[in-house]
Structure 1
Amino acid sequence: MPHQPLRRRLFARTAALAAAITLGGCGFHLRGPQPLAFTTMHVGVSEFSDLGAALRRQIATTGSTTVTEDAATAQARLQILANDRGREILSLTGAGKVREYQLTQRIRFRLVDAGNNELIPPTAIAAQREYTFNDELVLGKEQEEALLYRDMQSDLIQQIMRRLAAYRRPQ
């Protein structure tokens, strides 16, 4: 009986080692910053907005691209055509009060080069979240809504970055 914990630990370590070898052998690696095909990029949204600041931060982390505020000197320009948020009622209580909301955020963007040629045509991406509402906890629910919008915006920025990273200039 005293050897039972030792056997379990040995088995757990062996299983962990086997999993690490298997994952390493199949080419698995954590997703890191993806290099972009441009050395300079202009982001067409205010650097003082949440969206603009987050996009600039993400582009800077690629290590291959710097953000320039002068659109004329940039190799590529990311244009945000629309950034819309919405809130819809999903369900009501028997008393006619709101029980659930659905939040949506849609961003339309395109990427153009210095000659105004479209590299990525106008593309729409969207995210949505649902949450329950309680009118007795209005302040807490407002904070939850703000958190959900930040989460959606983060998801949408990651989608934009993946699409920018997928673009490859013709040789």
Structure 2
Amino acid sequence: MKLFSGRVFLLIAVLVTLHGCGFKFRGSQPLPEGIQQVYLADPKEYSPLKRALKEHFDFYQIDYVANIPVAQKDQTIAIYLYPDSLDRRLLSLFSTGQVAEYELVLTIKLQVIFPNNEPQIVEFDITREYQDDPDAILAKSRELDLILKEMRNQAADRIVRMLPSLDSREH
């Protein structure tokens, strides 16, 4: 019984310490009040990044609007996506000279405009390593599609999370 109560005390002490220093699980911190509605523009109507961003908006309970009503111009954040680009960098070769491993670099560029503020251009990269196998072309093609989807989801999450730091209205 003493061992059990010692563990409980230790657990409570760790939780109180973590809470006291401001630790929060990733994704558990709500966005500020001013980020409630976002206009999203993309040259490609059905781009994978735009779809991923819409899913993240739903998760964070941010309203997505297809156009900015005149009455809400001073309340709506506008995000303009540029076409993303994917680069492959050679990391290693098989002894036969065929590519064994790539580094995939997805470059994301966007413009964010907060009401009554100057436009801000944001650009960042998401990287992953990808092992190629010339004997399993079909499986590797599917794996590449899954990796790209995961990279775009990570980019969407990063965009939503950076919005509060880009907002200069409260500073």
Would you call these one fold, judging by a TM-score over 0.5? yes
Amino acid at match of 1:22: T
CA deviation vs aligned residue, 1:68-92 (integer Å, no higher than 9, x gap)? 1014545221001231112232211
Would you say the 8 A contact 1:36–1:164 is kept in 2?
Answer: no
The code of the aligned residue for 2:78 comes to: R
Q: Which amino acid is 1:12 matched to?
A: R
Using the aligned pairs only, state the percent identity: 23
Give the structure with higher Rg (CA).
1
Q: Which residue of 1 aligns with 2:8?
A: 13
Deviates more, 1:34-43 or 1:101-110: 34-43
* Contiguous gaps of at least 5 residues in structure 2: none
Report how many residues are paired: 163
| Residues 8 and 85 (structure 1), Cα distance of their counterparts in 2 relative to 1, 3 Å cut | same
Q: TM-score, normalised by structure 1?
A: 0.79
- Paired AA for residue 91 in structure 1: S
Equivalent positions of 1:14-163 (< 5 A) are 14-30=9-25, 31-32=27-28, 33-35=30-32, 37-45=34-42, 48-63=46-61, 65-73=62-70, 74=73, 75-113=76-114, 118-119=118-119, 121-163=120-162
Q: 1:170 to 1:16 in 2, by over 3 A?
A: closer
Q: Which amino acid aligns with 2:149?
A: R
Question: TM-score scaled to structure 2, two decimals?
Answer: 0.79
Matched residue type, 1:15: L
Return 5+ residue gaps in structure 1 as ranges: 1-5
